Amino acid sequence: MIACRRYRCVSCGAILTVVPRGVAPRFGFQQLSMAMNVGQAEDWGLSLPDGSRIHLWLMPDGRWIAHRDATDPSLSPLHAAVHVLTATPLGVAVAFLGVVGLTAVAMSRA
């Protein structure tokens, strides 16, 4: 048995579970080979039946941070592209450049 602490988020009410240092994720989590670097030491993922995944970051100070990715990029190249476009800064840049490009084309035809 592992002693964990639980905290309630004061802004959204979510329950956060804090796992002690040195405890690797279990229950189907797999270490990820590719992820956007936000200062974490390791990345772990658990695919869910609805096509999303739980993504864990192990921070250098031993903290675990969890979030849910709406699209699991490990399912297929299409899922990976959707994940990059919707959940990373690159997706925002691509969307912005697309709008700028479409606006330029529309203005040149007017």
Q: Can you spell out the DSSP letters for the chain?
A: ----EEEE-TTT--EEEEPPTT----TT-EE-S----SS-SEEEEEE-TTS-EEEEEE-TTS-EEEEEESS-TTS-HHHHHHHHHHHSHHHHHHHHHHHHHHHHHHHHH-
pLDDT at position 59, please? Answer: 86
CB atoms within 10 A of CB 37: 7
pLDDT digits (tens, 9 = 90+) for 27-71: 778 888 777 777 888 888 888 899 888 888 888 888 888 888 888
Could you tell me the pTM of the whole model?
A: 0.60
Q: Domain of 83?
A: 5-109
- CA–CA dist 46, 34 (Å, integer): 14
In this structure, the strands spanning 15-18 and 30-31 are unpaired
- In the prediction, which pLDDT does 21 show? 60
Q: How does pLDDT run across 65-100, given as a tens digit for each residue? A: 888 888 898 888 988 888 888 877 777 787 788 888
Residues 6 or more apart whose CB falls under 8 angstroms from that of 103 comprise none
Give me the number of domains the chain comprises. 1
Which residue has better confidence, 29 or 26?
29
